């Protein structure tokens, strides 16, 4: 893949390789659908390609299958039909060579008996990574979420936002290429949520992480995403797609811009349409 | 340094001790005024005199009872925990065996103690077995419950990371079960003592024991009521010390993270 074309310098080759159109997509969902054992159609067949380095947000009314789609992408559940590809193949586990994915739940799901550093070390320990090798990785992940001063604290000594940061650090410690987040900041107050969103944008940008994010918040979706997928229910399907073509990495000033408000307004209208009993619009 | 009265630990110890002293004083004064004969109901001072007078034999009896209690307690903890680990391996095992654990719990120890004492020649051993049977159940049921009460989110996380059964047990189930286990310890420590004393009573009626229960029986035969009370006092004291030790142990193990041991901020 990295071979030089005739007459091409190494730099040009690198540029070509990093141009988004040339890179293989991070995730391809190939007409995957989900029918639950009780017969409910959770997801109609969905086709979706997630580009490498993209920040994709899934939003929609409850029951639209956004969490189901995220779990399919995370390989937490199997599609009833169709299939998924990660970087045109599979993904690697922690400790293996290759590209990895990490999942952040709605709840921090920390071990209350373990200190912050031990909690962050967990995925490495489960993959039998040696203590000595794990220590700098853990310290780095904790620093990235700004909790270095709290690495010897217990979860119960931390606020809700800080616990969520620990949860994110635990996901980052495995050095994932694809970060999947299921309404991670849903239980936090708006101020904390905005702060964590700011930090998430920076993390995503610095690490060139491909991120798939599920949220209920229109503002959060517009602020974070490069692309937003609006989903509709009965059965769960992609309703519309919105591209947020704004400079990166974004910061608080984007929230105050008129463009931000315009995006939010439009997204809000779409969501209202997606929530109608018989939603018009494309079923891809 | 805080003033003594504001220290919570001090108040926690001083308040009940104070109540005890007041009750003892009332008892002493009341019984002196009413002139209750010693052979009917002794005063605290009579009990104290008897405690001093019969010190060596009571102390020897205390050591016998204490040894049975501690052996039984240790055995119950080891066996109970092992059984709990077997129970959580599969629902089928638990469903088939749990009724027998319950059977163990509901059978009164006085009813099976004579059988065990007849079957097992060594008195010490037979007493330990009786006391273990009494102390076993809370450890089994609490530890099983603890090992089962895994935070579903965390369990999901472990599954996602393809954690082995052993790792899930060591890193998730065991730490999560600790608060339940310590709850079981508190109950079981008291039951081990009760079991030991009850078994001694049964054995004592056959004249084959020398523990505190035997002292009580013997004092009853000779109408030495103060000695009876002195032995009773020692049993109670042993129970309180055991319970206190378990509370301290649980505090030492859980104080850093578990809600039950974290002192609320005021």
Residue A246 contacts residue A228 (beta carbons within 8 Å): no
Q: Which of A78, A84, A104, A90 is nearest to A163 (CA)?
A: A104
The pLDDT of residue B261 is above 90: no
Q: Taking residues B160-168, what's their average pLDDT?
A: 86
Lowest mean pLDDT among A1-15, B25-39, B143-157: A1-15
Q: Does residue A268 contact residue A61 with C-beta atoms inside 8 Å?
A: no
Which residues are CB-contacts of B184 (< 8 A; sequence separation ≥ 6)? B80, B138, B139, B141, B142, B143
Is residue B189 pLDDT above 90, yes or no?
yes
| A12 Cβ contact partners less than 8 Å away, ≥ 6 residues apart | none
Q: How far is CA B142 from the centre of its chain?
A: 15
Per DSSP, B263 falls in state P
Q: Would you call A33 helix, strand, or coil by DSSP?
A: strand
Out of A92-101, A259-268, B88-97, B105-114, least confident range: A92-101
Q: How far apart are CA A165 and CA A119, in angstroms?
A: 11
Say what the pLDDT of residue A40 is. Answer: 82
Cβ–Cβ under 8 Å, residues B54 and B216: no
Number of domains in chain A: 1
Examine residue A236 and state whether it is found in any structural domain, yes or no: yes
Q: How many residues does chain B have?
A: 266
The answer as to whether A207 is a domain residue is no
- Chain A residues with CB-CB distance to B173 below 8 A: none
Chain A residues in contact with B161 (beta carbon < 8 A): 94, 122-123, 126-127
Alpha helices in chain A, H assignment, sequence order: 10-18, 66-73, 116-126, 131-144, 160-172, 190-207, 218-224, 252-256, 258-274
Question: Nearest CA to A119 among A94, A156, A93, A91?
Answer: A156
Q: Do A105 and B257 touch (CB under 8 A)?
A: no
| Interface contact flag, A109 B153, Cβ < 8 Å | yes
Each residue's pLDDT tens digit, B99-148: 888 888 888 888 888 888 888 888 888 889 989 998 999 999 999 999 98
Nearest CA in chain B to A71: B160
B229 in Cβ contact with B47 (< 8 Å): yes
**Rounded Cα distance, A94 and A142, in Å:** 18
- Mean pLDDT over residues B18-43, rounded? 85
Q: Which two tokens stand for residue A130?
A: 């040696």
Nearest to B167 among A74, A93, A126 (CB): A126
- Residue A51 lies inside a defined structural domain of this protein: yes
Amino acid A283: pLDDT: 46
Q: Among A76, A93, A103, whose Cβ lies nearest the Cβ of B162?
A: A93
Query: Does residue A21 have a pLDDT over 80?
Result: no
Q: List Cα–Cα distances, B264 to A60, B14, B15, B183, B254, in angstroms.
A: 41, 21, 20, 20, 14
Answer whether A215's CB lies under 8 Å from A57's CB: yes
In a domain? residue A282:
yes
pLDDT for A57-76, tens place per residue? 999 888 888 888 898 888 88
In the predicted structure, residue B173 carries a pLDDT above the cut 80: yes
C-beta atoms surrounding B178 within 10 Å: 17
From first CA to last CA, the distance across chain A in angstroms is: 32
Element (H, E) at B262: none
Task: Look at residue A128 and tell me whether its pLDDT is greater than 90.
Answer: no
DSSP one-letter code for A5: P
We report the CATH number of the domain holding residue A30 as 3.40.50.300
Question: pLDDT exceeding 90 applies to what percent of chain A?
Answer: 27
B225-251 per-position pLDDT tens digit: 888 888 888 899 999 999 989 988 888
pLDDT given for residue A2 in this prediction: 43
**Averaged pLDDT of chain A:** 84
Residues in a beta bridge with A27? A50, A86
Is residue A73 assigned to a domain?
Answer: yes
Q: What is the mean pLDDT of chain B?
A: 85
pLDDT, tens digit, 9 for 90 and up, residues A163-205: 999 999 999 898 888 899 999 988 888 888 888 899 899 889 9
ipTM metric: 0.77
**A101, two tokens:** 């994915």
pLDDT at residue A15 in the model:
46
What percentage of chain A reaches a pLDDT higher than 70? 89
| Residues B188 and B73: beta-carbon distance below 8 Å | yes
| Residue in B with minimal Cα distance to A107 | B153
Interface of A with B (CB under 8 A): 74, 76, 93-94, 103, 105, 107, 109, 111-114, 122-123, 125-127, 154-156
Share of residues in chain B with pLDDT > 70 (%): 93
Tell me if A187 is assigned to some domain.
no
Query: What is the pLDDT, as a whole number, of residue B209?
Result: 62
Would the pLDDT of A1 be above 60?
A: no
Do the domain assignments include residue A68?
yes
Residue A134 lies in a domain: no
Domain of residue A75 covers: 24-90+218-284
Beta pairing partners, A189? none
Shortest Cα distance, chain A CAs vs residue B166, angstroms? 11
Q: Chain B: nearest CA to A10, how far in angstroms? A: 38
The answer to whether the CB of B211 falls within 8 A of the CB of B61 is: yes
> Counting beta carbons within 10 angstroms of the beta carbon of residue B154, is it exposed (0 to 12), middle (13 to 18) or buried (19 or more)?
buried
Would you place residue B193 in the very low, low, confident or very high pLDDT band (cuts 50, 70, 90)? very high
Distance, in Å, from the CA atom of A101 to the CA atom of A27, rounded to the nearest integer, reads 11
For residue A152, give the 3-state DSSP assignment: coil
CA dihedral B187, B188, B193, B195 (to 10 degrees): 110
Distance CA A166, CA A146 (A): 9
Categorize the per-residue pLDDT at A6 as very low, low, confident or very high, splitting at 50, 70 and 90. low
The arithmetic mean of pLDDT across residues A5-26, rounded, is 55
Cβ contact A205:A215 at 8 Å? no
Residue A73 in contact with residue A84, Cβ under 8 Å? yes
Q: Which of A283, A255, A194, A240 is nearest to A57 (CA)?
A: A240
Write out chain B residues lying below 8 Å of A156, CB-based: 257, 259, 262
Which pLDDT score is estimated for B265? 46
The DSSP call for residue A112 is T
Predicted local distance difference test score (pLDDT) of residue A279? 46
Distance from CA of B98 to the nearest CA of A (A): 29
Is the pLDDT at A226 greater than 60? The verdict is yes
Single out the residue of A110, A214, A215, A130 nearest to residue A170, CA to CA: A110
CA distances for A129 relative to A98, A126, A173, B87, angstroms: 16, 8, 12, 31
- The pLDDT tens digits for B70-100 are 999 999 999 999 999 998 888 888 889 888 8
């Amino acid at each position: 893949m990295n071979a030089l074309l005739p007459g091409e310098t190494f730099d040009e080759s690198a540029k070509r390789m990093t141009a988004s159109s040339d890179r293989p997509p991070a995730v391809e969902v190939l007409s995957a659908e989900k029918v639950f054992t009780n017969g409910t159609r959770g997801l109609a067949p969905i086709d979706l390609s997630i580009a490498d380095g993209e920040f994709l947000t899934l939003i929609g009314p409850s029951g639209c299958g956004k969490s189901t789609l995220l779990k399919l992408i995370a390989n937490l559940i199997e599609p009833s039909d169709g299939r998924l590809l990660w970087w045109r193949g599979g993904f690697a586990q922690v400790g293996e060579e290759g590209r990895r994915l990490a999942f952040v739940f709605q709840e921090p799901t920390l071990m209350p008996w373990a200190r912050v550093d031990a909690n962050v070390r967990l995925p490495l320990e489960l993959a039998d990574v040696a203590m000595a090798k794990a220590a700098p990785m853990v310290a780095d992940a904790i620093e990235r979420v700004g909790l270095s001063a709290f690495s010897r604290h217990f979860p119960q000594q931390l606020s809700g936002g800080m616990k969520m940061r620990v949860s994110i650090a635990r996901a980052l410690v495995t050095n994932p290429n694809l970060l999947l987040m299921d309404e991670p900041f849903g239980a936090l107050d708006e101020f904390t949520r905005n702060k964590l969103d700011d930090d998430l944008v920076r993390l995503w940008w610095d690490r060139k992480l491909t991120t798939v994010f599920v949220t209920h918040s229109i503002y959060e979706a517009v602020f974070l995403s490069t692309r937003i997928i609006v989903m509709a229910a009965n059965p769960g399907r992609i309703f519309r797609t919105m591209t947020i073509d704004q400079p990166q990495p974004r910061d608080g000033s984007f929230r105050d811009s008129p463009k931000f408000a315009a995006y939010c307004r439009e997204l809000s209208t779409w969501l209202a349409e997606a929530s109608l009993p018989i939603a018009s619009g494309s079923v891809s | 340094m805080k003033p003594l009265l504001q220290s919570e630990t001090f108040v926690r110890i001083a308040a009940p001790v104070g109540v005890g002293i007041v009750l003892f004083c009332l008892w002493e004064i009341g019984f002196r005024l009413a002139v209750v004969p010693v052979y009917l109901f002794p005063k605290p001072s009579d009990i104290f005199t008897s405690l001093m007078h019969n010190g060596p034999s009571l102390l020897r009896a205390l050591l016998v009872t204490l040894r049975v209690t501690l052996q039984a307690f240790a055995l119950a903890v080891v066996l109970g925990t092992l059984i709990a680990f077997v129970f959580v391996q599969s629902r089928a095992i638990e469903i088939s065996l749990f009724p027998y654990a319950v059977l163990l719990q509901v059978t009164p120890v006085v009813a099976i103690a004579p059988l065990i004492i007849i079957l097992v020649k060594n008195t010490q051993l037979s007493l330990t077995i009786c006391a273990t049977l009494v102390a076993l159940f809370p450890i089994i049921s609490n530890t099983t419950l603890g090992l089962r009460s895994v935070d579903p989110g965390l369990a999901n996380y472990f599954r996602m990371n393809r954690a082995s059964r052993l790792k899930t047990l060591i890193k998730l189930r065991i730490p999560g079960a600790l608060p339940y286990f310590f709850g079981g310890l508190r109950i079981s420590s008291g039951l081990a003592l009760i079991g030991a004393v009850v078994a001694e009573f049964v054995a004592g009626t056959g004249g084959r024991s020398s523990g505190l229960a035997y002292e009580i029986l013997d004092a009853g035969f000779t109408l030495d009521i103060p000695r009876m009370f002195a032995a009773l006092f020692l049993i109670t004291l042993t129970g309180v010390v055991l319970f206190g030790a378990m509370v301290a142990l649980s505090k030492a193990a859980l104080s850093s993270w578990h809600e039950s041991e974290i002192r609320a901020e005021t």
